[in-house]
Structure 1
Amino acid sequence: MKSSRDFLLGFITGVVAGILTAPKSGQESRQWIQDEADKRTKDLQDQWNKGVEQVKTQVEQVKSQVNQWTGKLQDEGEQKKEKYNEKVDNLADKAHEGVDAAKQSIKAE
């Protein structure tokens, strides 16, 4: 990482030194530097904004997927709960029938 940073710093320094020693007047060189800096800044802002939009889009897609999964899990949970309650109700009904049948057999004796 350090060698890359050193290379980039050296490159930028060389470019700036070359521009400043070019046969243009100081005012022309400063204006050119300002124009280039503005152009590069705008390019970086555009790239940043595109990146932010991409991240927002991906976050919305993930949210949508999570909401779909959550909905499916809730639906499956409700279905299992209903089946469980039906089984409990059936067992309770059978238990009542058994108790009633036992009462009837006791009365018959």
Structure 2
Amino acid sequence: MKSSRDFLLGFITGVVAGILTAPKSGQESRQWIQDEADKRTKDLQDQWSKGVEQVKAQVEQVKAQVNQWTGKLQSEGEQHKDKYNEKVDDMASKAHEGVDSAKKSVKVD
């Protein structure tokens, strides 16, 4: 990491020294530096915008997936709830039948 930083610092120093010693006038050099800075700034802004758009797209995909899973879980939960209620109703009916049967057998004797 340090060698990369040193290389980059040396590169930038060399470029600046080259620009400052170039056979252009000071005004031309300053304009060139300004133009390059503007160009690089625009490039960075474009890259940032693309990155933001990619992240937004991925967030939307994740949201869609979560919504899909949530819907599936809710649907399965409803199915299990319905089955549970059916079993409870069935058991209640059988219990009533058993009670009625017991009542009849008690009355008959």
Taking structure 1 as the reference length, what is the TM-score of the superposition? 0.98
Residue-by-residue CA offset, 1:24-82 (whole Å, 9 max, x unaligned)? 11110010000000000000000000000000011001001100100000000010000
SS at match of 1:13: helix
Q: Which amino acid aligns with 1:9?
A: L
Aligned length, in residue pairs = 109
- Structure 2 residue runs of 5 or longer lacking an equivalent are none
Shift in Å, 1:13? 1.0
Counterpart check, 1:8 vs 2:18: no
Counterpart check, 1:42 vs 2:42: yes
Shift in Å, 1:3? 1.2
Q: Which amino acid aligns with 2:45?
A: Q
- 2:69, 2:57 → 1: CA distance? 19
Q: Which amino acid aligns with 1:107?
A: K
Question: What residue in structure 1 maps to residue 99 of structure 2?
Answer: 99
Q: Which amino acid aligns with 2:59?
A: V
- Structure 1 residue runs of 5 or longer lacking an equivalent are none
Shift in Å, 1:10? 1.0
Question: What residue in structure 1 maps to residue 73 of structure 2?
Answer: 73
Question: What residue in structure 2 maps to residue 21 of structure 1?
Answer: 21
Calculate percent identity across the aligned residue pairs. 87
